[in-house]
Amino acid sequence: MSPTLIAEFFLLAALWGSSFLFMRLGAAEFGALPTAGLRVGLAALCLLPIFFLKEVRASFATRARHILFVGLLNSALPFALFAFAVVHISTGLTSILNATVPLSGALVAWLWLQERPDRSRLVGLLLGFAGVCLLVVGKSGFDTSGRPGEADLWITLLAMGAALLATLCYGLAASFTKRHLQGVHPLATATGSQLGATLGLAAPMVWYWPPQPVSATAWGAVTAVAVLCTAVAYILFFRIIAEAGPSKALTVTFLVPVFALAYVAVFLNETISVWMVLCGLVILSGTLLATGLWRLPRGAPAI
């Protein structure tokens, strides 16, 4: 990649890493659904001028229903689930769980598109799943006897489950896009999907709108996650795909937790445990294998 593209790559990772911090600050006052609704709504407003480009508008018109639907899978549902998760578990932990997105994508492609993984990718799926299990057990409050060790055990597990369900939504969206949106202009998909997500979250956002006044800090956080981490980030992401290909663009996922952990350690004073780091490395190793970026040696035993 060119130096300019590498700079954009790191900028994208930095923006997506900050989204967990901004969601935490916004959802603490707005709640999960209004935070997600504002995020996609403001992002759609920022991206709307792109529709003035004739080729983008024409491309959207050919697959409008599919693009609007993918907005629900790729933005509305996962943004709401992550906003719920960061209220109940640490943002650092949420960002590590987000690193399983390529694992979810590989698993969904296997089950839905029959893209059967080879030996390396199958080992990667198993390793990544093991890393998630270790992370959940380590953060769930279970002691060695298997009994709950915290009063809020179930809300913690529910929040971690929400984060993992969000990554599954991303995996479903990726396979849906591959099957139904081949050849669509990427900016048409980016803009149209945010419009679809906005339509899907409009009613829940109004219904769950907080009755009390919201601080300027929360408004600023939601605006930042919408404009920087969604609208600008989508433009960067699709530019990297166009210039370097989807495989290289995908690797940005591995850098996101690094930035996210740095942000929350500095701005929220969250403690990053050794266990979280170790489980994150296991998940990262499994993801690299599952996506084909790493390969097992030829002499490695078969499963």
Q: Could you report the per-residue pLDDT of 120-145, keeping only the tens digit for each? A: 878 877 888 888 888 777 765 444 34
Q: Give me the residues paired with residue 142 across strands.
A: 148
Prediction pTM value:
0.84
Domain range for 219 is 3-290
Q: Please state which of the ranges 10-14, 31-35, 68-72, 264-268 shows the lowest mean pLDDT.
A: 264-268
Q: Scan for tokens 């960067």, then name that residue.
A: 236
The reported pLDDT for the residue numbered 56 is 93
Domain presence at residue 218: yes
Domain presence at residue 298: no
Q: Please state which of the ranges 8-12, 49-53, 144-148, 223-227 shows the lowest mean pLDDT.
A: 144-148
Domain presence at residue 297: no
Q: What are phi and psi of 142, to 5 degrees?
A: -80, 135
Q: Does the pLDDT of residue 247 top 70, yes or no?
A: no
Cβ of 253: how many Cβ atoms within 10 Å? 22
Domain presence at residue 303: no
257 vs 284: CA distance, rounded Å: 10
Domain presence at residue 295: no
Domain presence at residue 232: yes
Q: Scan for tokens 């899978």, then name that residue.
A: 73
Domain presence at residue 259: yes
Task: Report in angstroms the alpha-carbon separations of 12 from 8, 127, 230.
Answer: 6, 27, 10
Which carries the bigger pLDDT value, residue 101 or residue 292? 101
Paired tokens of 164: 């993992």
The reported pLDDT for the residue numbered 135 is 78
299 Cα distance to chain centroid? 35
Q: What average pLDDT does the chain have? A: 84
Q: Which amino acid is at 44?
A: A
Q: How confident is the model at residue 293 (pLDDT cuts 50, 70, 90)?
A: low
The reported pLDDT for the residue numbered 151 is 47
Number of domains the chain contains:
1
Domain presence at residue 124: yes
Nearest to 139 by CA among 260, 263, 287, 274: 274
Average pLDDT for 229-241: 84
Nearest to 9 by CA among 247, 262, 272: 247
Tell me 52's DSSP state.
Answer: G
